[in-house]
Structure formats: structure tokens, C-alpha cells
Chain A
Amino acid sequence: MLAFSIRRIFQAIVVLAVVGLVAFSMFRFVGDPIDNMLGQERTDADIVRLRTQLGLDLPFPIQYLKFLQGAAQGNFGVSYRQGRPVADIIVERAPATLELAAVSVIFAIVGGIVFGIFTAIQRDGFIANAIMTSSLIGVSLPTFLIGILLIYLFAVELSWLPSFGRGEVVKIGWWSTGFLTVSGLKAIILPSITLGLYQMTLIMRLVRSEMLEVLRQDYIRFAFARGLSDRSIHFKHALKNTLVPVITVTGLQIGAIIAFAIITETVFQWPGVGLLFINAIQFVDIPVMATYLLLVSVMFVVINLVVDLLYYAVDPRLRSDGAVKAGHQ
């Protein structure tokens, strides 16, 4: 366990170092930072002064280390477009994205497990088949079309829900939340469904196939023979054994949810980090792009690491394999 953890953590650090190098190279080589910061009226003396001030005259590896040091302290430079520190902009935008992602994940897990159990128990039922078929169509639709479809149905035709924005938000310290107002709660429904739908179908299919597998096993048949109620068998005995792979997949999908939030946020003009990133690409705002890249990769790498370690801790088969291999070496 210890050897595995150390190797896995070492790999994660290597990945982060590489991503940091990419982000730093973006700062350093895509466009000239001096050009971007000084206006048209500049003298050679200005350029030299700014060059030493920013440390651009230092050797490359030292610049890279300084960049990493700054990033670790939350100093990501200044947005070319907004002229404010990138860290401030991200902190302002982060609550919107995190709230959206959290609601989507909950929607995906709850919906996925409920529908998964339902389609597994009612295997050949009409409704279960309808759910399975429509999930196939749902998976092949691009995210942005699903969003537009929902907007058309619920915002344009029925006008039940707002089509864009976060509604009213309440400030709690630096965190702005949409959970405390009616308009905020209404506004989060459509974006979170759009964002979580793919993950929900994924979890649903997983739970269904695992349930079908488990329901065939002997201990379930014995449970039926003992005369236990259907309810107790399905939820107490079968469901528990399907949950390990579900936890793994959900964990790995959190990264995808953060990435696909970019698309959902654009469709619904949700003022989060994803929308910020898309605007940064359109205007080639390198510091914002690089910061987003860094933050997202830290998040991905940490999630992957935690899921791997959890999986290793939960599944004893992995451990014994490692022990056998270690014994042979």
C-alpha cells in the first residue's frame, strides 16, 4: 500500500510539473508579455526596466521556479483584458461554477441510481425500455443542443424557468450563493440538468448492469428463498454491492463535469469560471488561460489520485496482486 501510494503521488507530481511547464511557456512565449503590458508610447528604458522588474532577464529554469512559487502563493499575474489580478477574478467567479457542478453531481448520482435500480428491477417493463432507449439518444446529442432544447421547452414555450444567468445571489463573505433566493434556485435547474445528464446516463447504465449481475448471484436467490421482502433484497443486499464501481466512476467524472461546465455556462450565460475561460480564449488573454489550466489540472490530478488510492483501499484484489508481484521481484 505504501509503495503504491508513493509511486502514485510521485506520478501526480510529475504530471503537475509538466502542466506547470506548459502554463509557464504560455506566459513566456505566446505573445510578448512586455508588448501586452506597455502601450504604444514606450521607451527602450521602459522595456529594460520592466524586463528586470518581471525577472525576464533571468535564466529559463529560474524563471520557471519563480513562476511556480508565485502560483503556489496564489499570484497568477494580471489579466490582459480586465487589468485586474487573475486570482481576484477567479475567486469572484468560482462559487457559480462550484455550485453548478455540485448540483449537477448530486442530480447525476441520485437520478442515476434511482433510474438504474428501476431499469434493473423492471428489466423488460415498457417504461424501463423507454428509459434505456431515450438514454441512448441523450448520450449521442451534443451537450449544447441538449441545453438549447431545454431552454426552448422550459423557458421559451412554457416560460417556467429563466433561460440565462444565476438569478439573484446572496453574498456570504466572499462567497456568492444562489441557493437562498427563489430566482437563484429556479435558475440552477436547467443548467445542472444539462451538465449532469451525460453522467446520469453513465451512472444509470453502470448501476443497471451491476444490479443485473448481482441479482443473478446465489446469495440473492437464498435471500428470496428465506422469504425476505423484495424491498429489503433490492436495497439492502443488492444495491450495496453495486456501489464501489459507482463511486469510482462518479469520482472520475467530476473532472469531466468541471470541463463540460464551460459549454453549459456558455449556453446559459452562467457567470462562472468556464465562461471566463472561453472569453479568455476569444481574446487570447494568456494569464487567465494559463491559470485556468493550472487550477483544472490540479483538480484533475488530485481527484484521480484520491480515486486511485480509494479504489486500492476498497478492493482487496488489487492489493494481493501487488503483493504477489512484489514477492516475485
Chain B
Amino acid sequence: MSGLKRFWQSDLMWSFRHSPVAIISLLVTVLLIFTAICAPLLAPHNPFDPATLNLMNGFSRPMEPNQFTNEVFLMGTDDQGRDMYSTIMYGMRVSLFVGFMAVLFSMTLGVVLGLLAGYLGGWVDIIIMRIADIQLTFPSILVAMLIFGIAKGFTPIEMREQMAIWVLILAIGLSDWVKFARVVRGATLVEKAKEYIQAAKLIDRKPIAIMLSHILPNVLNPVLVIATISLALAIIAEATLSFLGVGAPPTQPSLGTLIRIGQDYLFSGEWWILFFPAVTLLALALSVNLLGDWLRDALNPRLR
């Protein structure tokens, strides 16, 4: 209990309580993540079960009874009578899953390589940071596309549909590790020179133990900030790739895939097939982004 109270009264929480933007964006983020996780329980229809689909429901307008079946859909239906509201919930699951896994992957990779480069120095440092420099020359979305293409070439044709999500995670994750590595390396260089590390070396702690239990906890703050902003970027990157048709497969549509499908119906006036997935994507990306911005300012000692 006292621990909770201490947390509530900490600087971070004080800054949080006094920032309406942070509170609203956290609420929106939590709400969207909750809906995505509980989609099978909350969604009124299962969009992937053909038995519940009724073709007569196709192209129902949002909030209006369908002219044949009189059913009402909150966000309308697509061409095959799929409830958009449920489809978006399931689509958000794919988007968030890919986003979280990609950030987890790039964070792990970046932190490990950054620690190694900063702590060991020498040729390890040179090789890792040169690769990082080369990768930074290219926009990360281009790197992600390329890795997706190469990985797709390596997976056997019959496995491609199932593997697409994992290939996507690999591609987005690999395109984004440099940011983590650079920050961790810089922070490690600073920490390495401090006395407690020299003391740890003196009592013969192993380098791995020093890196993980002494340096890592002290460089976590900036990593957390980058991870939050990276999540927003990863969600947008996933949506972009899926929109371009080189991401999530049609059997597991993400928000980007839904937007791509919706674009085809824009010209014939069925705006809701595009509109609702796009708004959901924006709300998700924007709230995570604002949360990251707030966290960066709140954890930055220079701005206090």
C-alpha cells in the first residue's frame, strides 16, 4: 500500500496528473488495447466465421437498418456483409501484436548491441556502429520493405501466408534497432567511467553481470521513451506496409489492410469501409505518440 502511495506521489505521477494530454492519451491507448485483447468476447460478430456472414447485409450503412434484413450495424458492413466494428477490433489485434512484438524485438537487439558496443569498445564497437551508420542512411520504411521481400523469398510458398505476420515483425524490428543501440551505447560509455563500475570490476564481477545488473538498470529511462515512440512508428509502419500489400495477409487483415480494401470502395460512395479503420489507426498512433512525448519530457531531468 505504501509502495503504491509512494508511486502516486512520485515526480513522474505528479507530472502525469498535471498533464491532461497525457491522461487522455493514456485512457484512449488503454481502451484501444483492452478492446483489441478482448475482441473475441466483445465483438458482436466473428468476421472470420463464414457461418455468421449474410451476403444480404453487404454494404449496410452505419447506424441505419439494412434494407433487406433490417439489422443495424454501428459502423456499417463491407461488401460481404462483415460487421466493420468487429473487423476493426480484430484488425487492431493484428496491428498491436505486430507493433508490440516488433518494438520488443528491436529493443532487445538494440539494447544488447548497444551494451556490447559501449562496454567492450574496440573493434566490436566499430563494427556495430558502422552497420548502424550504414542503416541510418536509408529510411527505415525502405529497409523494412527490403527485409520483408528477402524474407519472403526464403520462406517456402505454401508457408508464406502463415509466416507473413512473423516476417513483418522481423522486418519492422530489424529496421528500427539503431535508435536503441545508439542511445544505450552513449549511456553505457558514461556509466562505464563511473566508480561503482570500477568497484564491480575490482571484485571480479563478470562483464556480462556488470552489463546486465549494473549498467542496464541505469540506461533504462531513455530506452523506455524510445520504445513508446517506436511503438507508434511501428504501428504506422505496419499499416503502411499492409496498405502497400507487402504486409499482413488478407486472411489476417490489420488496420492497414482494411484501409487498402476500403480505398477500392471510396469511389462508389461506401465511405465507411475506409473511414472507420483510418480513424482507429489515427487514434491509436496519435495517442501512443503523445504518451511518448509526455514521457520524454517527464523523464528528462533538464526540463524539470
The answer to whether B137 touches A304, judged by C-beta atoms less than 8 angstroms apart, is yes
**Contacting A297 at CB < 8 Å: which of B138, B145, B246, B278?**
B138
The answer to whether A148 touches B150, judged by C-beta atoms less than 8 angstroms apart, is no
Stretch at the interface among A165-173, A180-188, A211-219, A260-268: A260-268
The answer to whether A278 touches B153, judged by C-beta atoms less than 8 angstroms apart, is no
The answer to whether A144 touches B138, judged by C-beta atoms less than 8 angstroms apart, is no
**B281–chain A nearest beta-carbon distance, Å:** 8
How far, in angstroms, from A18 to B263 measured CA to CA in the complex?
Answer: 39
> In residues 274-314 of chain A, which contact B (Cβ within 8 Å)?
277-278, 280-282, 284, 286, 289, 293, 296-297, 300-301, 304
Verify if A259 is at the interface (C-beta below 8 Å from B).
yes
How far, in angstroms, from A131 to B139 measured CA to CA in the complex?
Answer: 27
Which residue of B has the minimal Cβ distance to A278?
A: B244
**A165–chain B nearest beta-carbon distance, Å:** 14
How far, in angstroms, from A83 to B161 measured CA to CA in the complex?
Answer: 26
The answer to whether B267 touches A281, judged by C-beta atoms less than 8 angstroms apart, is no
Verify if A60 is at the interface (C-beta below 8 Å from B).
no
**Contacting A262 at CB < 8 Å: which of B134, B142, B267, B282?**
B142
How far, in angstroms, from A282 to B245 measured CA to CA in the complex?
Answer: 7
Which residue of A has the minimal Cβ distance to B148?
A: A281
- Residues in A with CB closer than 8 Å to B207 are none
- Residues in B with CB closer than 8 Å to A18 are 134
How far, in angstroms, from A297 to B137 measured CA to CA in the complex?
Answer: 9
**Contacting B266 at CB < 8 Å: which of A15, A151, A284?**
A151
Verify if A255 is at the interface (C-beta below 8 Å from B).
yes
Which residue of B has the minimal Cβ distance to A149?
A: B278
The answer to whether B145 touches A15, judged by C-beta atoms less than 8 angstroms apart, is no
Which residue of B has the minimal Cβ distance to A297?
A: B138
Stretch at the interface among A64-72, A85-93, A112-120, A135-143: A135-143
The answer to whether B239 touches A142, judged by C-beta atoms less than 8 angstroms apart, is yes
How far, in angstroms, from A256 to B146 measured CA to CA in the complex?
Answer: 15
The answer to whether B274 touches A148, judged by C-beta atoms less than 8 angstroms apart, is yes
- Residues in A with CB closer than 8 Å to B141 are 259-260, 263
Verify if A163 is at the interface (C-beta below 8 Å from B).
yes
How far, in angstroms, from A301 to B138 measured CA to CA in the complex?
Answer: 9
Verify if A62 is at the interface (C-beta below 8 Å from B).
no
How far, in angstroms, from A156 to B245 measured CA to CA in the complex?
Answer: 23
- Residues in A with CB closer than 8 Å to B123 are none
Residues of chain A at interface, number, CB under 8 A: 39
Verify if B149 is at the interface (C-beta below 8 Å from A).
yes
**Contacting A280 at CB < 8 Å: which of B149, B243, B259, B281?**
B149
Verify if A224 is at the interface (C-beta below 8 Å from B).
no
How far, in angstroms, from A144 to B246 measured CA to CA in the complex?
Answer: 14
With known contacts A15-B134, A163-B267, A278–B246 Cβ distance under 8 A: yes
The answer to whether A256 touches B134, judged by C-beta atoms less than 8 angstroms apart, is no
Verify if A106 is at the interface (C-beta below 8 Å from B).
no
**A209–chain B nearest beta-carbon distance, Å:** 18
Verify if B43 is at the interface (C-beta below 8 Å from A).
no
With known contacts A156-B266, A260-B139, A300-B137, A284–B149 Cβ distance under 8 A: yes
- Could you mark each residue 193-231 of chain B with 1 if its beta carbon is under 8 Å from any beta carbon of chain A, else 0? 000000000000000000000000000000000000000
With known contacts A152-B266, A300-B138, A144–B243 Cβ distance under 8 A: yes
> In residues 235-255 of chain B, which contact A (Cβ within 8 Å)?
236, 239-240, 243-246
How far, in angstroms, from A284 to B278 measured CA to CA in the complex?
Answer: 29
- Residues in B with CB closer than 8 Å to A289 are 146, 149-150
Verify if B154 is at the interface (C-beta below 8 Å from A).
yes
- Could you mark each residue 231-254 of chain A with 1 if its beta carbon is under 8 Å from any beta carbon of chain B, else 0? 000000000000000000000000
Verify if A30 is at the interface (C-beta below 8 Å from B).
yes
Verify if B184 is at the interface (C-beta below 8 Å from A).
no
**B112–chain A nearest beta-carbon distance, Å:** 22
With known contacts A18-B134, A280-B149, A284-B152, A148–B246 Cβ distance under 8 A: no
Verify if A26 is at the interface (C-beta below 8 Å from B).
yes
With known contacts A15-B134, A282-B245, A140–B286 Cβ distance under 8 A: yes
> In residues 10-29 of chain A, which contact B (Cβ within 8 Å)?
15, 18-19, 26
- Residues in A with CB closer than 8 Å to B289 are 140
With known contacts A259-B142, A260-B139, A300-B138, A282–B246 Cβ distance under 8 A: yes
**A318–chain B nearest beta-carbon distance, Å:** 18
The answer to whether A142 touches B240, judged by C-beta atoms less than 8 angstroms apart, is yes
Verify if A31 is at the interface (C-beta below 8 Å from B).
yes
- Residues in B with CB closer than 8 Å to A281 are 145, 148-149, 152, 246
- Residues in B with CB closer than 8 Å to A280 are 149
How far, in angstroms, from A255 to B139 measured CA to CA in the complex?
Answer: 8
The answer to whether A26 touches B139, judged by C-beta atoms less than 8 angstroms apart, is no
**B29–chain A nearest beta-carbon distance, Å:** 15
- Residues in B with CB closer than 8 Å to A163 are 267
Verify if A145 is at the interface (C-beta below 8 Å from B).
yes
The answer to whether B285 touches A140, judged by C-beta atoms less than 8 angstroms apart, is yes
**A145–chain B nearest beta-carbon distance, Å:** 6
How far, in angstroms, from A144 to B260 measured CA to CA in the complex?
Answer: 10
Which residue of B has the minimal Cβ distance to A151?
A: B266
**Contacting A148 at CB < 8 Å: which of B134, B139, B149, B266?**
B266
How far, in angstroms, from A308 to B134 measured CA to CA in the complex?
Answer: 15
The 9 closest A-B pairs by CB, nearest first: A30-B153, A281-B149, A259-B139, A259-B142, A284-B153, A281-B246, A144-B243, A142-B236, A266-B244
- Between-chain CB contacts (< 8 Å), 12 pairs: A19-B134, A26-B150, A142-B239, A142-B240, A143-B240, A145-B281, A156-B266, A256-B139, A259-B138, A266-B245, A281-B145, A300-B137
